Structure 1
Amino acid sequence: MLFNLETDSGEQIVFYVVPDTFSAVPRVRIVSARRTLLEIDANEIREALVAHARHETGRCGFSIDATMIPGLAKIRDLSIYETETNLLVYRRRPDKCIERKVLNLSASLLPPRSMDNYLKGLFHYSAIQLEAHGTETVSQLFLLNAVNSLYLSGRILYKNYEVYAENGFSTFMCVDDPYVMLAERIIILGMVERNRSADQIIGHRDALMLKQAAEFAEKLPLDDGKALRKAFKALPPEIAIAFVDPVVRLLTATTPTDMARSGAVAWALDELASFKVVGIRRESALYADTIGEYLGIGPIAEPLLAGFPKILALADILREEARVEHLIAKDLELYHHVESAFEKSVSDEMWETQ
């Protein structure tokens, strides 16, 4: 999906939204104070979209004025969302916002929702759960050049957007114990398969791609260590790929099926070294406070969730299985380096304050 604001004169807002479906007519929802003021289909034609074969009819333009929304010019908190994806298309700039562009990168299937929900309102524009959108849409978000206050968050393959992220973005990432992350992934996939709730929890795109892995996870005997180890020994390669080195692959791969190549750990470490803030999940409060300090907003009272007891218990079982260690070998190597660097940084800071 492509979109852009063309003008906001106060009394009139003109913009376009090009949907992923070639012939679809886009629809938007206009909101103020959490109340929908108007829902409307595209009401203008953009001939250039037809000429460049981007849309069948070109009916992708919107013109909203005070005859549709009385007092339009005075509504300072107005936001416009595309109805199918709920993606923010345009938001009038608030009086105060953080003047930075931020990418909060995550490899977890459980997005950092509490932190996202806290931070996104402090920026002019925000989009979370980027993994729910296609490459074109995510690229569009990085290219909102007229917006200098921007917060993006999600589980995306970093190499595909590195050229954008290096152009003015501050990137944050929190790295977790690979065994805990694997346990979390198994439990979440099993849960969404049992509850048929994949679209709501991991998004429609991932639900399709991880379908086989979810079916495998749903059948795992999580309370029986011996049976669990046996299941992983018989894990088919086409399912195993959903569990292999998720962090290293997030940082170095360009497609979801790419495996981590030789030298990938060093490559991933180079990427992490270029980020503004890198933390570890077991010290999530410190990670959140470091972000708050960097953004100039003070301590953040919405750190990442700590591991749930069931996840930690499964992680301890997984640590005993050699086949599992093989699946996450590169992530284990990466985490060792990150954890060592983190502990040295904390130790040095404590030494300086003595």
Structure 2
Amino acid sequence: MIPDGFSDEASVIVTRDDGTAMSFPCDQLRLGVMQAGRHATGMVGFRVDEERMPDLASQRRLVIQDAKTGLLIYRRPPVDEPVPHKLLRLELNIVPMLKFDAYCGRHFQYAISAVERFGHETTMQAFHLNAERSVYISGRLLLRNYEDFLDKGFQAIADIPNPYYEMACRLFILKRLAKGPVTFLGDRDRLILAPAAEHFAEVNLEDEKAIRRALKKSPDKVRSVLISPITRQLVCTYPEQRVTRRDVAAAISTLSRFVVVGHGNDHAHFQQAVGELLSLPPMNIPIIPPHSVLEELAERLRAMPIAEQMLEEDLIFDHYVRQAVAPRAGRQGKAQQ
């Protein structure tokens, strides 16, 4: 377990079935890690055996996590019959669906949510759990960097937010970030969002003129946080990469590989489709309902040409997604009649 700090001394937490936990230091030398310049001492290996934990073999739900970050390293099946899928839920909203992940994740052998907080290398390690057939990964990833795994046993699902509502969420989070840390954002996100948080710190989000003025005066580092983030996640390989209209077709092509796609406020469809995929009760799957304050902000943004300009690619993408969703909605309506 290689810690983020070059000279940090790592440790793991082992949790028993009854909830009690034991801490073990990473005191096993891994010479190759030190020789590769990954850690100062190479003391990154750990060993948990019956000498250290006499009741090890009897623990049916044993869990091992990084003591500092809570990152799941290993666990015995959390349920008797884990879901036999490798699933990626691509997070397209800046506000993560944590309750959704917690509910779905506990039905898999291995699960990690908001994986972007741990960086690219840890994310790749999760995707490379080749010996495990029950894996749940969720996060706000740049999919192009991981798309190859859709050819290696992973299935992908996503709930696509309305572009104006997503912009409203981002402005709201930027205001919060200007006042203090936002717990679900990782270090890299905070670094990328810092200029935008500073720019919108004093902007009154209930004042349409103030929002319009702030959007128009946004420097590049601020605009990059708000410009068509959904399309960018589907086609870009690095955060600063820009998108054009030509990228919309590539985003649609990528989305066509997903096994479940939700859209807007059609929560019942997304719940039902995910439930069928995972063989779980659909109505038990938690969905975050839209917040009235953010919906009002989204409506104000909808009336601003500058917001439309910044969301151009996402709005085109959203149009085609709605066109694809509409026939299904029509069929459902006729069936109900």
Corresponding residue of 2:134: 149
Corresponding residue of 1:268: 251
Q: Which shifted more, 35-44 or 110-119? A: 35-44
Q: CA 1:262 to 1:225, structure 2 compared with 1: closer, same or farther past 3 Å?
A: closer
Distance in structure 2 (CA, Å) of the matches to 1:316 and 1:156: 27
1:31 aligns with 2:15: yes
CA RMSD of superposed structures (Å): 1.7
Corresponding residue of 2:40: 56
Q: Which shifted more, 265-274 or 235-244? A: 235-244
- Preserved CA contact (<8 Å) 1:25 1:42: yes
Q: Which shifted more, 27-36 or 97-106? A: 27-36
What are structure 1's unaligned runs of at least 5 residues? 1-16
- Preserved CA contact (<8 Å) 2:99 2:286: yes
Which of 161, 169, 173 in structure 1 is aligned with 2:158?
Answer: 173
- Preserved CA contact (<8 Å) 1:111 1:129: yes
The AA in structure 2 aligned to 1:127 is: I
- Preserved CA contact (<8 Å) 2:90 2:139: yes
**2:73 partner SS:** strand
**1:151 partner SS:** strand
Distance in structure 2 (CA, Å) of the matches to 1:152 and 1:89: 13
- Preserved CA contact (<8 Å) 1:171 1:277: yes
Corresponding residue of 2:83: 98
Corresponding residue of 1:159: 144
Q: Which shifted more, 87-96 or 298-307? A: 298-307
Structure 1 runs (4+) greater than 4 angstroms displaced: 349-354
Corresponding residue of 1:67: 51
1:125 aligns with 2:140: no
Distance in structure 1 (CA, Å) of the matches to 2:214 and 2:137: 38
1:168, distance to aligned residue in structure 2 (A): 0.6
Counterparts of 1:205-216 in structure 2, within 5 Å, are 205-216=188-199
Corresponding residue of 2:31: 47
Write out per-residue CA displacement over residues 99-151 of structure 1, whole angstroms, 9 at most, x where no aligned residue.
Answer: 00000011211101121111010000000011201111101100011111000
TM-score scaled by structure 2? Answer: 0.95
Counterparts of 1:272-283 in structure 2, within 5 Å, are 272-283=255-266
Corresponding residue of 1:20: 4
Corresponding residue of 1:307: 290
Corresponding residue of 1:110: 95
Corresponding residue of 1:244: 227
Distance in structure 2 (CA, Å) of the matches to 1:352 and 1:168: 34
Which of 191, 215, 222 in structure 1 is aligned with 2:205?
Answer: 222
- Preserved CA contact (<8 Å) 1:183 1:311: yes
Distance in structure 2 (CA, Å) of the matches to 1:203 and 1:18: 18
Corresponding residue of 1:253: 236
Corresponding residue of 1:190: 175
Q: Which shifted more, 96-105 or 183-192? A: 183-192
**1:102 partner SS:** strand
1:154, distance to aligned residue in structure 2 (A): 0.9
Distance in structure 1 (CA, Å) of the matches to 2:271 and 2:108: 17
Q: CA 1:259 to 1:284, structure 2 compared with 1: closer, same or farther past 3 Å?
A: same
1:52, distance to aligned residue in structure 2 (A): 3.7
TM-score scaled by structure 1? Answer: 0.90
1:205, distance to aligned residue in structure 2 (A): 2.0
1:294, distance to aligned residue in structure 2 (A): 1.3
1:51, distance to aligned residue in structure 2 (A): 3.8
1:36, distance to aligned residue in structure 2 (A): 4.0
The AA in structure 1 aligned to 2:94 is: L
1:31, distance to aligned residue in structure 2 (A): 1.0
The AA in structure 2 aligned to 1:184 is: C
What are structure 2's unaligned runs of at least 5 residues? none
The AA in structure 1 aligned to 2:211 is: L
1:159, distance to aligned residue in structure 2 (A): 0.4
1:350, distance to aligned residue in structure 2 (A): 4.4
Distance in structure 2 (CA, Å) of the matches to 1:264 and 1:34: 51
1:81 aligns with 2:65: yes
Which of 258, 269, 275 in structure 2 is aligned with 1:292?
Answer: 275
The AA in structure 1 aligned to 2:301 is: L
How many percent of aligned residue pairs carry the same amino acid?
Answer: 32
Write out per-residue CA displacement over residues 176-212 of structure 1, whole angstroms, 9 at most, x where no aligned residue.
Answer: 1101110011012212322x122x1322221121011
1:34, distance to aligned residue in structure 2 (A): 6.6
The AA in structure 2 aligned to 1:309 is: S
1:327, distance to aligned residue in structure 2 (A): 0.4
Which of 112, 120, 127 in structure 2 is aligned with 1:135?
Answer: 120
- Preserved CA contact (<8 Å) 1:246 1:331: yes
1:231 aligns with 2:217: no
Q: CA 1:261 to 1:70, structure 2 compared with 1: closer, same or farther past 3 Å?
A: same
